[in-house]
Amino acid sequence: MKDRMVNLVHETQDQICKVLRDLDGVDYREDEWSREEGGGGRSRVFSNGNVFEKAGVNVSVVMGRLSSDAAKSMGGGSALGDTRLDFFASGLSLVLHPKNPMAPTVHANYRYFERGKESESGAWWFGGGADLTPAYLFEEDAIHFHQAHKEVCDRHAIADYAKFKEWCDDYFYIRHRDERRGIGGIFFDDLNQNSKEACFDFVEDCAGSFLEAYVPILEKRMNEPFTPQNKIWQQIRRGRYVEFNLVYDRGTTFGLNTNGRIESILMSLPETARWEYCQEPVSGSPEEKVVEVLKHPREWV
């Protein structure tokens, strides 16, 4: 399973980067990195192109021994405690920040973990998901993104779209703002309630469906007209994105606690963001419309 997951994340990275390169009109910068404790990764980042302010598609394959803090952030169930500290982790992580404020940011992550001996109960699991973060709400885009992921879930007995959708809304919650980071998608973790084969098949299907879920939305919005005020609002929403990733995101915490490559860990952050003092959207405005959905998640399909 380790080898199959490593192959999957590298092949998926290649497929996604080929499509992004064609859309953006520029090639990515690639950095291969390693860590003393074991393993490494391959980071690919697009910038200064036609479509993206910054777009990163990373893979990592790391192993070693966890600190107790890293063990807590890694998950895997409380039964593992702090005693099984040898680990293996392989995953794909991407964040795409378009230039046009009408085109949504998107995030996806698919990963496989082992702790201790593979034969031990609860010692392996899968996690992942994908979520959409628009600055401006287009309901048909939200429906398309959620429908694509529901169809993936419906193909696999191990998956539950309604549960994973609610999990996504709850996970990407910025508590100090009382709002979600975006309009959600699916999120799951500690997935090992069925056979490894069934779990892998679901994750493989999710990863293979990412382009279908997102690219039609991007192509529809990336050339839409926008105003300077629209751009300011996008930057304010990106500030919220930064707040979640640096304060709450478990993947960021895990990377920092396992001596990961800092540039790869913080690849998810946009190149630009904005924090205005006491900023509030105008009542009845398109900006208020998206904030209302972030505070009160909706059922899209």
The set of catalytic residues is: 107
Tokens 């982790």 correspond to: 89
Encoded amino acid at 91, one letter:
G
Looking at the DSSP bridge assignments, the partners of residue 43 are 31, 58
Instruction: For tokens 């074991």, name the residue.
Output: 38
CA–CA dist 66, 71 (Å, integer) = 6
Length of the chain: 301
Give the whole-angstrom CA distance, residue 261 versus residue 254. Answer: 11
Give the number of C-alpha atoms closer than 13 A to the C-alpha of residue 31, restricted to the C-beta side: 13
Ramachandran assignment for 39, one of left (phi > 0), alpha (psi -120 to 50 degrees), beta (any other): left
**DSSP-based three-state secondary structure for 30:** strand
DSSP assignment letter at 178: T
Secondary structure, 3-state, 206-237: HHHCHHHHHHHHHHHHCCCCCCHHHHHHHHHH
67's tokens: 């600190």
